[in-house]
Structure 1
Amino acid sequence: MYPPPRAARALLAGWFSFPDGEATAGDVLALHRVEDVLQRAGLPYDVAWSPGFRADAPQLDEVSPDRYGWLVFVCGPLHGPQVEELHHRFARCLRIAVGTSVIDPGSPAVTGFHHVLARDGQGTGPSLDLAAGAPALPARPVVGVILTHGQHEYGPARRHDTVAGHLTSWLHGKDCARLELDTRLDTHDWRLCATPAQLESVLLRLDLVVTDRLHGMVLALRAGTPALAVDPVAGGAKVSAQARACGWPALVPAERLERAGPAELDRWWEWCLTSGRVAARQIRDEFATGTPTDAATGLLEALRAVRAG
């Protein structure tokens, strides 16, 4: 027998609500699907979030159960004391689980719900996960990040740690998909590319590369992907020199980054994602046709000169 709801407002919760829980992309998309259904039906609701994920949002230990007539638990497995505690705290609410996995149907975590709309484990065929039907999301830039904390050969001119700190702090606030990459190849570590072709295949699919490495910039341009490059050596070194050799303008010296901060990075970010796309492809085409020339063009002449000498 369902208790009659005392209020029309629902509280949406899930593993993303517990203080030591985690918010996965799938769980949050499942939440969006449920929100969309409730919004279309004109039903008011709140969402309880983990303080570790969204400290400014309503939290389970702060909301008043008396405010809600419904508790809707979204996605994830129904098990454990945290889920069981919800039944005690929200005992006077109508409790529904939706899009969840039922591992043990006899568990108090499961039986405490008045209704379970499971995605699997209920003795019937599986239903589509809620995340699949969530509202479409706008695309975000996919950004490869290639940084170095080494290059100690530059001695006191090194600004690598400072540059990396500025870049990572700035990137943290950008609405983009970040992908940490390394130009180092490794045939044993599955997390790293084993061949240049593998790395180039990744770079081809990016919208932008943010880097303080010479090859981070050059390989991005070789793939036709714009690079926002920062020279981490005071006074400029190989990254600045290579940017000039490539004719690539999106280069920020370490000193300018320290003075201008995020504003300088924002300016080149916008350029790279607009005009920079065309400029990078033009440079890619120049690379492919052999212009501008590189040091290898003089190799045979140098060998002949050595032999003649």
Structure 2
Amino acid sequence: MRVLVAGWFSFKDCNVTAGDVMARDLACDWLGQSGYLYDVALVSPFVGGVNWQTVNPANYSHVVFVCGPFPLDRATTEFVQRFNKSRLIGLDLSMLEPIDRWNPFDVLFARDSSTEAHPDITFLSKQPKVPVVGIVLVHPQQEYGDKGRHAIANAAIARLIKSQEVVAISIDTGLDSNTTNLHSACRDRNRSRSGSKSIPILDRHFNTQTQIATTLST
């Protein structure tokens, strides 16, 4: 038995997100831990993997399409038809069509659909932590005249940040007009008087890994 892992990283010009890649890697980890052989369908700029349009569909007993919206369009229809002899599994998908109208999967673990909603599996991903750096750049000020070196300094900082593996967050310290939502004391006081609403904390979890392993064994 061999599994093909596919997603929007398997198609050209499909705006692949970090979430797509995290979900893909998580699915591959689960398959590897369960002892299943698998291939990953990739297109440029990703390297390695296989091309789902040229592989022999008969090589795969199961096909897992992971993460993102799954619309009814030409690309998804072509993909589903090519692997119609394999057991199709949808993982962490947002189904755009009502389920009773279109669901091409033998087993579907939906992120959300017309009948269900679950937490994104990327919340289960364990990624290495990277430093977070706040960047405060000084804009040119006419008081300095020709003595100002703002552009040179800002360019040097940009080169430094680009050379490091960090998450860079721009910070604007201006209070009169701020581009990064930094509020003045006066504005913060006004906001506190108006009250605030708490954001619900994600507290629901589901054992998708076990469900996937059970599905593959049937």
TM-score, L = length of structure 1: 0.48
Q: Distance in 2 between matches of 1:27 and 1:64?
A: 22
Tell me the residue number matched to 2:5.
12
Match of 1:144, SS? strand
Tell me the residue number matched to 1:42.
35
1:129 and 2:112 correspond:
no
Structure with more contact order per residue of length (Cα contacts < 8 Å, sep ≥ 6) = 2
Summarize the Cα distance change of 1:174–1:17 in structure 2 as closer, same or farther, 3 Å threshold: farther
1:31 and 2:46 correspond:
no
Q: Deviations over 1:10-42 (max 9, x none)?
A: 332223443332333433332233122112012
Q: Distance in 1 between matches of 2:43 and 2:159?
A: 23
Tell me the residue number matched to 1:138.
128
Identity %: 29
Equivalent residue in structure 1 for 2:108, among 86, 110, 116: 116
Q: Which runs of 4+ in 1 moved over 6 A?
A: 196-199
Summarize the Cα distance change of 1:198–1:84 in structure 2 as closer, same or farther, 3 Å threshold: farther
Instruction: Say how many residue pairs are matched.
Output: 184
Equivalent residue in structure 2 for 1:192, among 181, 202, 213: 181
- How far is the alpha carbon of 1:144 from its aligned partner? 0.4
TM-score, L = length of structure 2: 0.65
Q: Is the 8 A contact 1:78 1:102 kept in 2?
A: yes
1:76 and 2:68 correspond:
yes
1:22 and 2:15 correspond:
yes
| RMSD (Å), alpha carbons | 3.5
The one-letter code of the counterpart of 1:144 is G
Summarize the Cα distance change of 1:126–1:139 in structure 2 as closer, same or farther, 3 Å threshold: same
Match of 2:118, SS? coil
User: Where in structure 2 are the equivalents of 1:252-271 lying within 5 Å?
Assistant: none
Q: Distance in 2 between matches of 1:78 and 1:90?
A: 16
- How far is the alpha carbon of 1:152 from its aligned partner? 5.1
User: Where in structure 2 are the equivalents of 1:33-182 lying within 5 Å?
Assistant: 33-49=26-42, 51=44, 55-58=45-48, 64-66=54-56, 68-69=59-60, 70-81=62-73, 82-104=75-97, 105=99, 110-111=103-104, 113-121=105-113, 123=115, 125-134=116-125, 136-151=126-141, 153-182=143-172
More helix by share: 1
Q: Is the 8 A contact 2:170 2:180 kept in 1?
A: no
Structure 2: 5+ residue runs without aligned partners? Answer: 189-218
Structure 1: 5+ residue runs without aligned partners? Answer: 1-6, 200-309
Q: Deviations over 1:256-283 (max 9, x none)?
A: xxxxxxxxxxxxxxxxxxxxxxxxxxxx
Summarize the Cα distance change of 1:62–1:95 in structure 2 as closer, same or farther, 3 Å threshold: closer
Q: Is the 8 A contact 1:48 1:57 kept in 2?
A: no
